[in-house]
Amino acid sequence: MNLHRPFRGTHAVAAGVLTPKMLRGPRFHRLFHDVYVAAEVKIDLALRSQAAYLLVEGTGVVGGYSAAELLGASCGPRDAPAEVVIPTRMRSRPGLLVRAGVVPPGERCRAGEVLVTSPLHTAFRLACRLPLVEAVVAVDALTHQFSIDPWDVVRFGYRYLGAPGSGQLPEVARLADPLAESPMETRIRLAIHVDGLPVPVLQHPVGAYDLDMAYPDVLLAVEYDGREHLTPERARRDLERQAHLTEAGWTVLRFRAADVLHRPWMVAAAVRRALAVRGVIAADRVSAPRRGR
């Protein structure tokens, strides 16, 4: 029994691996009722989702943000609850979101040892229930990971005509782009779109590098700098990359998480100013940032 993955406490005790007293001690972390993991294991959405599956194995599946996470298309908040879909009565609890329903065999698949909703089913459900921006973020992540046409999500929805939230599916598909490589890239792109600015080209190649978003005609790039850019090795590679882009005549606008998540209008304003300077849009269209969009 691997104690560094979620396990049933009763199974560990029955197998003679642990005692009830050991489970109550500091060596193990209780994730859900009768579900534990070794205390030194990092607890994240993927781990909590694996743990939640042990509660419904044989009757339900993992869905929503949890399914996306286990499918390699991470798009949810770090503190999102683990989500399961189960036909029998079961209550949600802190850290666990339970949805009632039956997922047909053709709409589920395996992610490792966990049964999850399929990429299309997952994209459909998230696109229906989330606000527009977050819905596009989810569809971008899943369509990118599995090379799916966003309009296939709309067509999939024909199986569930009248489903709550399905009315926004065409708009989600229109705004989605499978070339987006991260949720933050999607949010930046949508901030630009909402501001009425020209849509940038995604993953534009410049020599050995791909730019997150670019306006190639005016050599302007827009990129997201995440935490991974703070490591010494990544910082060194970023300097080499920046030197290459500068030599090629490119200007790069970089944004951090706080701007993208909390001040998207400032992101759009910076792009707007840069486009105006380069004559892409009229200078008189540049005004003070409009908050709350």
Domain boundaries, the chain: 1-43, 57-175, 183-285
293: confidence class by pLDDT, cuts 50, 70, 90: very low
CA dihedral of residues 60, 66, 68, 72 (deg, nearest 10): -110
Q: What is the pLDDT of residues 203-214, one digit of tens each?
A: 999 999 999 999
Residue position matching structure tokens 């005692």: 19
pTM score? 0.92
Provide CB contacts within 8 A for 263, sequence distance 6+.
none
Q: What is the pLDDT of residues 13-31, one digit of tens each?
A: 999 999 999 999 999 999 9
Provide CB contacts within 8 A for 155, sequence distance 6+.
none
What average pLDDT does the segment 121-134 reach?
98
Is 131 within 8 Å of 137 (Cβ atoms)?
A: no
Tell me the helices (H) and strands (E) count for the chain, helix number first.
Answer: 12, 12
Share of the chain above pLDDT 70, in %: 95
User: Topology of 183-285 in CATH?
Assistant: Endonuclease; Chain A (3.40.960)
Q: Order across the sheet with 35-38: list the strands.
A: 7-8, 35-38, 28-32
190 three-class SS: helix
Q: Please report, as a single letter, which amino acid is at residue 88.
A: T
pLDDT reported for residue 283 = 74
